């Protein structure tokens, strides 16, 4: 019992000092409560000014789903579907991919985005502050003109956002830009260009394959081999026809982009600005109140010493 009393006795002065310090702090802030209110109001006003001065950025979104060209695989596609079905019955996950990895890789590639920037003449728009429309050239004050690589870097980091749901294959493309109409146009054009390039690639590949197979068929006299080649030619012709008649070859748009509501920009986020401005203002008021108290003590000590 003696040890417990001595222990609690040693702790009580520390607790009382902590309570006294907190009470003093509260008293200081209460005496200067108008300082805190004024600092809070100033912080909110500065945040409101920043919201008014910052150029609003609007977001337009296109949502697309893989077109599902499983017929392109021919007999292999049927074999794979049988294997997946047997694996599902056995309770195994064979990791079937519902997306389009090739299309996503092309979409994120530098060459695709540079072609998109060139096709839509985006360089003067992306770097509008450095472009002189009267001269139709970059401003002479620039150290060096912006290159296509600069456009690709800026576009993929600041403007375009690509998100893919690997389970469903759903592709979402966001475009963030100050012009609502341009943002919607770019979001839709990206998917259109991706489909067009993959269609053309499939057509060219099938055409080249048909030409090659016809040459090989002319060379051989083996009837069974000719029949096998004929089946391959028929499959390639089907693939080419599918690519020609299907505009949405890689992805089918299920929700096209529309200009965003001018009342709801993606940036700046007004709530975030106001909360941050209020917190900064309140902290500034507390620091100013404590600094004023410290200066008051210094002056008091100085008077006593004199």
Phi-psi label, residue 246: left if phi above 0, alpha if psi -120 to 50, beta otherwise: beta
219: which 2 tokens? Answer: 């060379």
Is residue 71 a contact partner of residue 77, using CB atoms and an 8 Å limit? yes
Tell which residue, 142, 120, 134, 265, has the closest CA to residue 188: 120
Alpha-carbon span 168 to 64, nearest angstrom? 11
* Tens of pLDDT, residues 4-35: 444 444 445 555 666 676 777 777 777 878 87
Tell which residue, 161, 203, 152, 174, has the closest CA to residue 63: 174
Residues 6 or more apart whose CB falls under 8 angstroms from that of 80 comprise 73
* 3-state class (DSSP) for residue 60: strand
Cis peptide bond prior to 268, omega within 30° of 0: yes
For the chain, what's the residue count?
306
Residue percentage of the chain with pLDDT more than 90? 40
CA atoms within 13 A on the CB side of 296: 8
Q: Is the confidence at residue 163, as pLDDT, over 70?
A: yes
pLDDT for position 14: 56
229: which 2 tokens? Answer: 């080649």
Which of 196 and 267 is assigned the larger pLDDT? 196
pLDDT for position 218: 87
Average pLDDT over residues 209-233: 88
Average pLDDT over residues 136-154: 93
* Tens of pLDDT, residues 173-199: 999 999 999 999 999 999 999 999 999
Q: Is the confidence at residue 49, as pLDDT, over 50?
A: yes
In degrees and rounded to multiples of 5, residue 78 shows phi and psi of -65, -40
Q: Is the confidence at residue 74, as pLDDT, over 60?
A: no
pTM of structure: 0.70
Alpha-carbon span 115 to 77, nearest angstrom? 33
Instruction: Give strand pairing partners of 251.
Output: 66
Q: Is the confidence at residue 216, as pLDDT, over 90?
A: no
Q: Is the confidence at residue 104, as pLDDT, over 60?
A: yes
């Amino acid at each position: 019992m003696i040890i417990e009393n001595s222990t609690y006795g040693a702790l009580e002065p520390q607790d009382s000092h902590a309570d006294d310090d907190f009470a003093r702090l509260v008293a200081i802030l209460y005496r200067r409560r108008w300082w805190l209110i004024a600092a809070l109001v100033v912080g909110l006003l500065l945040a409101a000014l920043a919201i008014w001065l910052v150029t609003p950025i609007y977001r337009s979104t296109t949502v697309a789903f893989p077109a599902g060209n499983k017929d392109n695989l021919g007999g292999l596609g049927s074999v794979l579907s049988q294997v997946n079905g047997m694996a599902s019955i056995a309770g195994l996950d064979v990791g079937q991919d519902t997306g389009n990895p090739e299309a996503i890789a092309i979409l994120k590639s530098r060459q695709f985005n540079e072609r998109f920037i060139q096709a839509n003449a985006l360089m003067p728009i992306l770097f509008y502050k450095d472009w002189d429309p009267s001269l139709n050239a970059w401003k002479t004050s620039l150290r060096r003109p912006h290159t296509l690589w600069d456009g690709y870097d800026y576009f993929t980091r600041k403007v375009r956002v690509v998100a893919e749901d690997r389970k469903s294959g759903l592709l979402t493309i966001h475009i963030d830009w100050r012009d609502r109409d341009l943002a919607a146009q770019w979001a839709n054009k990206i998917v259109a260009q991706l489909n067009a390039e993959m269609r053309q690639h499939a057509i060219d590949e099938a055409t080249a394959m048909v030409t090659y197979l016809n040459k090989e068929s002319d060379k051989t006299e083996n009837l069974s081999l000719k029949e096998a080649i004929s089946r391959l030619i028929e499959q390639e012709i089907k693939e080419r026809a599918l690519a020609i008649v299907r505009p949405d070859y890689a992805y089918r748009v299920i929700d096209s982009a529309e200009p965003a509501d001018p009342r709801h920009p993606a940036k700046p986020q007004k709530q975030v600005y106001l909360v941050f401005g209020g917190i900064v203002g309140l902290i500034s008021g507390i620091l100013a109140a404590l600094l004023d108290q410290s200066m008051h003590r210094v002056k008091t000590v100085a008077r006593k010493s004199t």
